[in-house]
Structure 1
Amino acid sequence: MKKPIAFFVHHQGRGHANRTMAVAAEFARDRPVSVLTAGPHLFDGFSRDIEIVTLPNMIGALVPTPRLFAEPTPPVMHCVPLGLAEMRRTMRQILDHLDERAVGLFVVDVSAEIAMLARIASVPAVQIRMHGDRNDIAHIGAYEACVGMLAPFDERLEQDDYPAHLREKTFYSGGLCTSVDRVPDRAEARARLGLDPHREIVVAVTGGGGSGTPYAPLTVAARAAPDALWLTLGPTHREGHETDFANLRELGWVPSVTDYLAAADIVVASAGDNTVHEVARVAGRLIVMPEWRYFGEQTRKAEALVRLGAAVQAPYWPGDFHGWCDLLDRARSLDGTILRSLYAPDAATRAAGWLEGLTDALWQGGSAVKEPDATPLRVVAG
């Protein structure tokens, strides 16, 4: 029987879960797969047979005493409050599952502490790589504790400051997009959506992991480019003083984001992994406006996109006509094929193949392994 592969899946937004489903769907059908997450609803409707383990939701859990709350966090960790029953139950459930299922590989998407926990528990782990300023001791320790890292993006997007010895342990799947619907050409997409076939269209899109696209700057954009039609997809963030304009429409969640991206001349989007690759899949011209994330994740990804000439960026959301006109002019001059090249249609298949191959290689010949002639390795305390 093949060794099981288990995933720890963070439940913030939908990106981690969608990525896990895309990869797990490509595993061999006789590979046992399980998912440990505090967001089991994110996997509703997933067709592949997997085991779902519901973890406690530790976000917002209250530390029971002021004294415990005052204890400093050691630099080798990021989020380890003391006294939380929810945290103890989470770690216990993870360890029990890894032990009871004899998990061969634990894929962590994402948590430095959970990756370290796997190593302490003697379970091989792979950490999903994300951009950001992650050269702190906690991240480096977690990476070094893993048997490898999976980067769901093109190697050209790698950061210059990512250590060489860790790059050697990283598998780059190419740009992984979890959308699988067919990409229409621009004329077909506009006809399907009832949009003017000749008007310039700018689509601002955001996912569910943040507070939404700031709406106020888009009202300035609509006035700066009155001949363009501006459409927003997903949530928007209003401050309460905005004035609406006829060429700016809020559409919210739509059935097919792909159709709108294909219909657009320019896309304004955050630098989330799946969002970027959704735009890349339709070869759009991208204005990337990173949202705040821990460790500057989206900021560093946006920098990499701009460096490659795959996107343009402003240092902040323009608040004036000139700023928007300049940004739009730079976007119009982009070569959309550069962004398109960052999307890999077979990324999920390649990622799944690497994870399965790594699992099998790690456990190959286990029953035939003998102690070396030299002094046997012993586990000692300390």
Structure 2
Amino acid sequence: MNTLDADESTPLVPRHGIPPPVTDERGPLKKTLAIYLILACTLLERVAFYSIMVTLVLNLDSDELFHWQPRNSSIASFIFSGTSYISTLIFAVIGDAKLGRAITILVGFVLYVIGYILAVLITKTNINICARNTFNESDTPNTITIIQEPCASWILVTLIIIAIGAGAVQSNMAVFGADQVQQSDKPSRYFDKYIVVVNIGGIIATLGINFIQKDANHYFIGYLVALIILLIAAVLFSIGWRCYINVKPYDTVVSNCIPVVINAFQSWLQYKQNKRSISKYSTDASVTNSISDPLSLTEGEDSMGLNEQSEAFLDYAKIPNNGKFHDRIVNDVKSLGRALIVFSLLIPYWLIYHQARSVII
């Protein structure tokens, strides 16, 4: 039922978590333009992201600019990177199930630009939108918290806004680009190009923007260049709007994880209560009757349609087991759980990577 027969244009029962196919009526020029506009936007956005990510610690503890303590500079870097990763997860679900990927990317660009405008204003020394002289030389590094650092409130708010915008763009841009080539049966070529432009963006930011910011007086210029690059990326993305395939939002496996777990727990409690009731109210007569009719003792358990020893916990959420969800939805959530186990192995790697990059500097 989930596959297409020779005489069918769409499946009779579409698989949950997979969007219905979109008819691609674009010409070759629009298809090519859509892909390369997205790749160009990705390149420029990564330049803007790494322009602030790579030298964040060095810029904050620079004596010529903010003179933060190295420990607090590292904490700010962790806040920035952590917020970007968390927002990536959140906006991935929002883009798939609520707003759509294109709208989510535009929202991300708006937040991104607002954050970068604040960053440019903060680093412009003659504007003085925040106090830079709150550092007291008599204070020891251990007594200064991150909130007490010069311009801390403005800097932290700016970093969080930029991180949220970056997460919204980054989490949807790659998949949105894959939507444009889904009819070509060659999405792997797109992802190869996508990885290349991401790395090129990081190289340009590391070598180019950081070279501009070699002097403290040029921090403002470096962030201004990054802001202009980000604005160009947003404009390019908007220009190609009519060339894109926009997949409508749909329910995803991730959005159903919590409801499935909650319903499984509720059904499991109901099953346990029914089982205890059978044990409590069984009498010697019922035991005697069970000898002549062995199925009577398990009638209550069979009413749940569940074999406790053979079923997993999430199976309690299935409709045959008095749950609310179809079997394929629950099975998709179970498959996601197995994938999360594999992805969780990457957590120690990224912990060590960011710790080394932020603290050793």
**Could you state the TM-score of these two structures normalised by the residue count of structure 1?**
0.22
Larger radius of gyration: 2
Bigger relative contact order, structure 1 or 2 (CA pairs below 8 A, ≥6 apart)? 2
